Structure 1
Amino acid sequence: MRKIAYDCDVLVIGGGIVGLSTAYAITRAAPGTRVTVLEKEAGPARHQTGRNSGVIHSGIYYRPGSLKARYAVKGAAEMVKFCAEYGIAHSVTGKLIVATEREELPRLHALVQRGRENGIPVRELGPAQITEYEPEVRGLAAIHVGTTGICDFVAVAEQLGDASGAEIRYGAEVVRIDRRPALGVAVRTADGTVLRARVLVNCAGLHCDEVARLTGDEPGMRIVPFRGEYYALARPELVRGLVYPVPDPAFPFLGVHLTRGIDGEVHIGPNAVPALAREGYGWGVVRPRELGATVAWPGSWRIARRHWRYGAGELRRSVSKEAFTQAVRRLLPEVRADDLVRAPAGVRAQAVLRDGTLVDDFLIREGARAVHVLNAPSPAATASLPIGREVARRALAVLDRA
């Protein structure tokens, strides 16, 4: 049989923080492995990585034993260490999770227990103690989570790419994949370039299900995009650090929260509304093919039927600044509508099963000569170093078998 000339050993699709962390982990674990990263944008971290609140999550929300819990707790500590090592802007600030209604108190107490099960230091606070941390915030009770922080995740992604030693090609959109288990994987980009690899790693985020199907693997889920809209606070002196509401455990969203970022600005949000495109950062961005695929997926309709009341509230806050302001006032009574200034939105790549289940944990699956990361929304940036090692471990195992 004719010997195949491979362009690389492992080809990673996606130049967000998970894809670049995977490349970094592969070259650390197996020096000499040739890794190429393809990213369709002109630079790294242009979507989920670069359009979030920049929070290093503690892991308090996640089910003990889940990948999210394990990787967020470990990843938060590693992220702080990585930022310190490479001089990337970061700060361990801690955060408050505040109950403003009596019916939220049992959920707040459950978070205390979950935090302790996950090994996270948690301090319970009464109303007077809340104001010691945040003088303008009001609540019935709160917890302080000391290991939460903030950082510049775009700078982290850039550093991971630089330190990996991988070949990174920007402006390289994948349009076709030809996989033959005995021969490897050939990938064609939009400009006609063809690259051959022994193993493919799919870290395509908002497009990961489409990339999986290009390889011939049926992922059993679809990405349903949810846009998260943010405002900046015109009076940032009202907020010292990070303030969150008590989340509803029925949803993977944390609710509208207040975040003083590494740049000193205070961002408020996000809400969670259906996006009309995978990269639909505003109501005016509509891509009929992508919207049609979302509407055609049975899970989308089941979500809508199950959670229409919640969704209606999110939509109202999207179109009404006053409604959004009212949500913020639960935590920060002094805020006024004219204090809120529109800020760039993000889109969450949420994996949804056919039965309408919102996938609640990180989801990584393998195919012939392929590893697919199929659900890695927040806290994936926080957990990117351990996620990258896990994906790298799987990719190198597939490479050994190839």
Structure 2
Amino acid sequence: MPMRFISLRLEGSFCQFRDTFLETGQPIDVLDDRNADTVTTRLQQHPEIEVICRDRAGAYAEAASAGAPQATQVADRWHLWHNLCRAAEGVVRAHRADLRDPTEPSPPIAPAAIHIPAITPTTEVPAPSAPDTDSTTATRTRERHALIQQLVHRGLTITAIAEHLGLDRKTVRKYRDAAGSEQLINGRRHRTRAFEEFVPYLQQRIHQDGITNAAQLFAELQQRGYRGSRRTVRRYLAPLRAAAVITPLALAPPTVREATRWITSHPDHLSAHDKTQLAALLQRSPHLANLARHITTFADMMMKRTGTTKLPWLAAVRADDIPQLHSFAHGIERDLDAVTNGLSLPFSSGAVEGNVTRVKALKRSRYGRAGLDLLRKIILYSPC
């Protein structure tokens, strides 16, 4: 049967070339290897070929030029768009600092939801159940338990609370799951901690003088004879400072992939929230605004198949300082004729992609059970 229109496609891990009727979508053959010479020989046996639709692999271009010089080569539009989206992701990643809005207001939170009473030396706590539960450690455990429980009621996650208080996630989980603070108190130690004699001074500096800087307080304690570690002071101050001032958590900026999806998606496929976020992002980032403009122009050219008249797009890309798009443009220039045909002719490899999935499923279902000869027969004679 004569072949006029074929498509060349690389078949995953087995790495075989396959040529397929663009008109019927039926596979014709499975070649032995992925070398350009093998494909060239196969094409030379069919001088009636008129159109070759292929992806951007260099071996395909070389084999098509040598084996079928009379054929028109067409770069597949899906692969062109895929390459452009990868370049766009690189641009967004290079300008990820623009993803965060410096003027983003803090999220509104009802006063009742963030009310946490200041922790002072006179904070009322439940009466101790035993004489050995009135130590400084026990008091701090009760205060920390009350604080973490209130943060949990605000809806904060364990990770957010741990980052906010400077605690380990396991510690936060232990305080969250405890039925009461007394459950966490193991009793007073039978020795006097050297740190406890400095606690009244710390409480005075924190609650009367408003000093919460751990380094400053540690230096003051050293001048008064404290020989412990700075970490002990910092751990003691963490719940006290957090109770005095609770900073509302800022909204997380969009990820690189989210921003790339907004820029490369059709506007009709974006939600109202995504459109608002995208408009704000492009307004504060000139580089991403230029990227979006180039992508919109390319998408319009691809959808309307006006590649023969709008490839001055390359000159517009080169005029902007976007290195990632420059690399994409250089690739197009090296394969300009095939890309122009892909953006202007109706041929594409779309009909082949379903067969690609089918062939991969056939290969995996028979992995290690047969050689290429049997696999070739299975691919060619299995119903599509």
TM-score band, normalised by the shorter chain?
under 0.3
TM-score normalised to the size of structure 1? 0.22
Higher strand residue share: 1
TM-score normalised to the size of structure 2? 0.22
Whichever of the two has the greater Rg, that structure is: 2
